[in-house]
Structure 1
């Protein structure tokens, strides 16, 4: 392991420690890492915290799946939204997350996904048979994907499945892990005849990079008087010096 890789792990641990303390001190380390990894994995879809949590299925009988989210034309489909699906769609995406606090990729993690996912994503699955060893939230989220797939069948959307395996590894996966990941990818590509599947590995350096990419600029506006609430209670009126306001809007710019 190079010094840069070792430093990436230590810096990621510090980032996790700081964010855990500030954002969710009541969560366990493992639960917070799952949320953190999901936030980074789903960065391109710009989900809010509730939407991220909606897809987290980690827990007893999770079949090795920590999170699962369905998107239609880049929009996340919630429990309510599936009732208002468009009549046509160009793309359906399913994103599946496995997040481990371990500092290395494990073949058994991929093997478990390979064992469970083809059954969970089979439209003819027997839910009574699955229920005793599959948690209710996971059953519901996979059912949501299958329902969307069927409802939008007539518009022949592109179907994309992405599995993301995130942990605090300093290095890339061992060739044996990648070989089993490729077999998983090929199996998921059989969900429909035109499904495209992908497997992405996020290590310590990747998670750090995504954290930096998503960091938001913060600027402070100095008021000359205490802000007053409006009569409607939906906002505030405040006074600030023009030079302070100019500094505020220029510093806040990325």
Structure 2
């Protein structure tokens, strides 16, 4: 009888231990599922799911850099897209036969708070990296705006503004955001970026005319003097060209027609 009691006691311990292990395993599975749900929630949009854009934006060719290329297609608030791929803060979507990349932010509820107003110009007060969405910390800047650059503004979100720029004589501004605190009020005296006046000449350091084609915009590096010419700006062009122009031949706004 005592042997039977001992056996029953041992069986009970084993069964209890098994139940405890099952509870522990069940708890672990539940915790793992919660972590997965949390990860999915943090990542936001899911591949092969359809979402609605909450603001207008130009879809880009490439999620890894901001260049002078215009958008692949225009996205309007309310347009629905299936997510094809994800990379960092971007998702790839498809519109008819075209594919492009859009910042995840534009599918969030917060994007509906982007304000659009009458366009105006400002000047970059200090060098600033461009972000793909307002409030984003730029880890590896693909584009930095120089101090003195003129930017075109139509949209804002809190303390951030979306800036349009002129690249290789074409306006561009698909998804470029900077803190408004990095900008200053536009004034011709503060603008280091602009256009060449019609019929102006580019000179070398000796005052000789350089026979080469220049592309707007141009950026002032410094003001100096050339004996044959007088006051000049040393400039750099969109293609990396350098030279000098008469001070009077500089138009301090790349967005206006000369």
User: Is the TM value for this pair above 0.5?
Assistant: no
Structure whose residues are more often helix by fraction: 1
TM-score, normalised to structure 2's length?
0.22
Structure whose residues are more often strand by fraction: 2
Q: Which has the higher contact order (CA 8 A, sep 6+)?
A: 1
